[in-house]
Structure 1
Amino acid sequence: MRREGFCSGFRYNLAVRMNAFQCEMVARDGKVKFPDVRIERTNLARQAFSEAQLRGKLKLPDNPYIPGGSKEDLDPYTGQGKFSVAKKRANDAKSQQNNQNQQGGSCWEP
């Protein structure tokens, strides 16, 4: 998945997680078995690659959700802004405003 780009790998990761953590596999003997996520599933890999290729998303070489990336303040699952980032920006703006108010006050010089 590394050579196909971030988007196809991300789609594959979501498909494997959905399969592994949302489905319970019950064997014939009645025991619950979970899929082994260490094994690469080529059918899911091909499906993720073709879907990313169809949407033109193979041109993104890097993860846009990493710090400093173009989508760092978006949640990759919902597409909405991350709460922690919005809260941090509000606190930064508030502290910057408080600093500007304090700079204009009376200055004490020894």
Structure 2
Amino acid sequence: MRVNDSHHLQALKKVFAVSKSIQKMAKEDFIMLNLVHETIDKNLAPDGNYVPRILFVDPSMTVRTDIIGRYSNHLYTYEPKDLVLCEWPFTISNEGLGERGNEEYTDRQQL
């Protein structure tokens, strides 16, 4: 299977293509890296190689391991229904997210 053949990836691409707010956010608030081939860099695959995965990196170039999705086996996978994507810049910069294992870690924080 090629990386681009993932049904999860194709579904996310469709959501990104039709959502003006996600497109605006991606242009103005994020640097996006789209890998065509899997990387051997473990920093870009902290919990394994799978697609799609979305990692957040802070200004010090540290992967934010406290910002995770809903799946315990693929922490950085998101689905189209996870449209909290549109709120990521606000959530990350203004609310701060708890660390994994923190008792105050809520469903909202776990995208």
Same fold by TM (over 0.5)?
no
Structure with max Cα Rg:
1
Tell me which interval the TM-score lies in, with the shorter structure as reference length.
Answer: under 0.3
Name the structure with the higher helix share.
Answer: 1
Q: Calculate the TM-score normalised by the size of structure 1.
A: 0.25
> What TM-score comes out, normalization by structure 2 length?
0.25
